[in-house]
């Protein structure tokens, strides 16, 4: 999850926070159910 954040950060030229990234990942239909669970857990933390 954290590794993929680096890709997202590069894609948006660093203009995205970890929280924003996790929120978007949770909202995407392409994201897997287990990945969404992890993202939700990280958001709670």
Partner 1 sequence: MATTLVVSEKPDAAKRIAESLSDRGQVLRHMKRGVPIYEVSRPSEKVYVCSALGHLYSVDQKRGITRRAHPVWDLTWKPRYLTERSQERLRTWIDQIRQVSREANCFVNACDYDIEGSVIGAMVLKYACNGADRNAKRMKFSTLTTKELQEAYANSSTGLDQTLVNAGMCRHEVDWVYGINLSRALTDSAREHGRVYSTLSTGRVQGPTLRFIVHREEEINCFVPSPYWTIETVIKVGDSTINAQYEKERIDSKSEADKVVADCEGESGTITDIDSRRSKIYPPPPFDLSALQAEAYRHFGLRPSSTLGIAERLYLDALISYPRTSSQKLPPSIEYRKILENLSSLEEYAAKVSVVLSGRGLSPTEGQRSDPAHPAIYPTGNMPHRALEPRERKVYDLIVRRFVATFGDPAIRQSEKVSVSVRGYIFYLKGTRILAGGWTDLYEPYAGFEEIHLPSLRIDQIVDIARIVSAERFTQPPSRFNPSSLLRLMERENIGTKATRADMIDTLYNRGYIVGERMTPTPLALNVIDVLKRYCPKVVETGFTRELEEKMQGIEYGKERKERVLVEAIEHLRPVMAELEARISEVGTELGKTIRETRLAQITLLSPCPQCGSRLVVVRNSRTGKRFIGCTGRWEKNCTFSLPLPQIGALTLSRKSCAKCGFELVIVKAKARRPMISCPMCFMEKRRKQAAQSKQTLDERHGTKDTA
Summarize as ranges the residues that interact with partner 1 (CB under 8 A).
Answer: 1, 4, 7-8, 10-13, 25, 28, 30-35
To partner 1, the closest distance from the beta carbon of 39 in angstroms equals 8
**Cα–Cα distance for residue pair 13/32, rounded to 1 Å:** 25
Nearer Cβ to partner 1 (34/44): 34
Min separation Cβ 24 and partner 1, Å? 9
Q: Please state the closest distance from residue 4 (CB atom) to partner 1, in A.
A: 4
Helical (H) or strand (E) element with 38: helix 33-44
CA gap 33, 26 in Å, rounded: 9
């Amino acid at each position: 999850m954290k590794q993929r954040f680096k890709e997202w950060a590069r894609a948006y030229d660093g203009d995205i926070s970890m929280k924003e990234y996790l929120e978007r990942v949770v909202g995407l239909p392409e994201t897997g159910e287990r990945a969404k669970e992890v993202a939700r857990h990280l958001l709670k933390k």
